[in-house]
């Protein structure tokens, strides 16, 4: 149950369409529901304005379906699943209305969210190899109703590609800069725009990249003001934060 659904239920109580006892019973199951292998945070929509997100890696198909059914059964219109394999997605789609994107490994159960005309989130990547993380960020932001513009393969090794899109960047409400190797893209973009920049280091790179550690440290030490950093390959985290900023 999210904030809007709680308001609707309370309005129905005030109009006599729902009894006080039924409303009390509905709220009683908050803040979580224990289904044995998982304790589902049914109160998260009220607290944070967004339902619980399922991290698919490490969970069995049966566990994911069980969690999905309980969240959707608690009046959620849709549920986001991250880090989901194609094999699990195929099995889930047999029993649940399900969208899956194999590039980002994102799955969405239920209804697709309509985009709200608030601001524009621009997602830029250093290279094509960063696209899986970028799509995780993009689909997460779109899941929460945001408009997203993708600028892929505009890294600093050919900075003219980035400069050609300067106007798009400067008109953004939030920019997500995603890069591996030395992670310089975030600093360059941070020096161009007047909006928050969320830097995402990726594990793309050769040995001394240390699976994204070099990009992470570069981004943390950025000389550009207004740059914040999420964890390595954390496209979901960047997309979620960008959505929160865009809707403020």
What tens digit of pLDDT does each residue of 88-118 get? 999 999 888 889 999 999 999 987 777 777 7
Pair 187, 83 in one domain: no
Same domain membership, residue 181 and residue 138:
yes
Q: Is residue 180 part of a domain?
A: yes
Q: Are 12 and 20 in contact (CB under 8 A)?
A: no
183 pLDDT exceeds 80? yes
> pTM (2 decimals)?
0.84
Residue 1 has pLDDT above 60, yes or no: no
Q: What is the CATH number of the domain that holds 213?
A: 3.40.50.1970
Domain that holds residue 128: 120-246
Residue 236 φ/ψ, nearest 5 degrees: -60, -50
What is the pLDDT, as a whole number, of residue 240? 95
Q: What is the pLDDT of residues 56-96, one digit of tens each?
A: 999 999 999 998 888 887 777 889 999 999 999 999 998 88
Ramachandran region of residue 153, left (φ > 0), alpha (ψ -120 to 50) or beta? left
pLDDT, greater one: 166 or 24: 166
Phi, psi for residue 198 in degrees, rounded to 5: -105, 115
Is the per-residue pLDDT at 167 higher than 90?
yes
Q: pLDDT grade, residue 35 (50/70/90)?
A: low
Q: Are residues 78 and 192 in the same domain?
A: no
Which pLDDT value is given to residue 142?
94
Let me know whether 103 and 125 are in one domain. no
Q: What is the CB-side half-sphere exposure of residue 134 using CA atoms within 13 A?
A: 25
Q: Give the span between the Cα atoms of 23 and 219, in whole angstroms.
A: 48
Task: Assess if residue 214 is contained within a domain.
Answer: yes
pLDDT at 227 over 60: yes
Same structural domain for residues 96 and 127?
Answer: no
Task: Report H helices in 94-227.
Answer: 131-143, 160-163, 166-170, 185-190, 213-220
- Helices and strands counted in the chain (H then E): 11, 11
Q: What is the DSSP letter of 115?
A: P
CA distances from 53 to 16, 69, 106 (A): 33, 13, 11
Last residue of a domain, one of 68, 90, 110: 110
What does the CA dihedral 236, 105, 207, 162 come to, rounded to 10 degrees? -60
- The per-residue pLDDT for 11 is 87
| Mean predicted confidence (pLDDT) in 52-59 | 88
Residue 22 or residue 29, greater confidence:
22
Task: Evaluate if residue 143 carries a pLDDT over 90.
Answer: yes
Helix (H, G, I), strand (E, B) or coil at 123: strand
Higher per-residue confidence, 145 vs 30: 145
53 and 151: one domain?
Answer: no
Query: Could you give the CA distance from residue 227 to residue 196 in angstroms, rounded to a whole number?
Result: 6
The reply to whether 115 falls in a domain is: no
* Of residues 15 and 150, more confidently modeled: 150
| CA separation, residue 236 to residues 22, 116, 133 (Å) | 36, 19, 8
Cα torsion for 225, 230, 234, 237, to the nearest 10°?
-90
Mean pLDDT of the chain: 88
């Amino acid at each position: 149950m999210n904030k809007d659904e709680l308001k609707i239920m309370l309005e129905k109580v005030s109009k006599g369409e729902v009894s006080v006892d039924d409303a009390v019973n509905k709220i009683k199951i908050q803040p979580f529901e224990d289904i044995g292998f998982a304790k589902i945070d049914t109160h998260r929509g009220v607290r944070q304005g967004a339902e619980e997100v399922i991290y698919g890696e490490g969970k069995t198909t049966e566990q994911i379906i069980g969690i999905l059914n309980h969240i959707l059964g608690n009046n959620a219109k849709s549920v986001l699943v991250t880090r989901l394999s194609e094999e699990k997605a195929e099995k889930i789609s047999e029993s649940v209305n399900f969208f899956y994107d194999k590039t980002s490994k994102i799955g969405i159960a239920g209804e697709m969210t309509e985009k709200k005309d608030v601001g524009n989130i621009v997602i830029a990547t250093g290279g094509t190899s960063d696209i899986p993380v970028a799509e995780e960020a993009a689909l997460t932001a779109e899941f929460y109703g945001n408009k997203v513009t993708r600028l892929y393969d505009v890294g600093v090794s050919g900075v003219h590609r980035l400069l050609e899109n300067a106007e798009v960047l400067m008109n953004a409400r939030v920019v997500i800069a995603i890069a591996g190797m030395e992670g310089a893209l975030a600093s360059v973009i941070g020096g161009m725009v007047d909006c928050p920049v969320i830097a995402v280091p990726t594990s793309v790179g050769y040995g001394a990249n240390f699976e994204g550690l070099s990009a992470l440290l570069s981004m943390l030490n950025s000389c550009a003001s207004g740059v914040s950093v999420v964890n390595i390959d954390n496209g979901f985290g960047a997309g979620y934060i960008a959505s929160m900023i865009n809707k403020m």
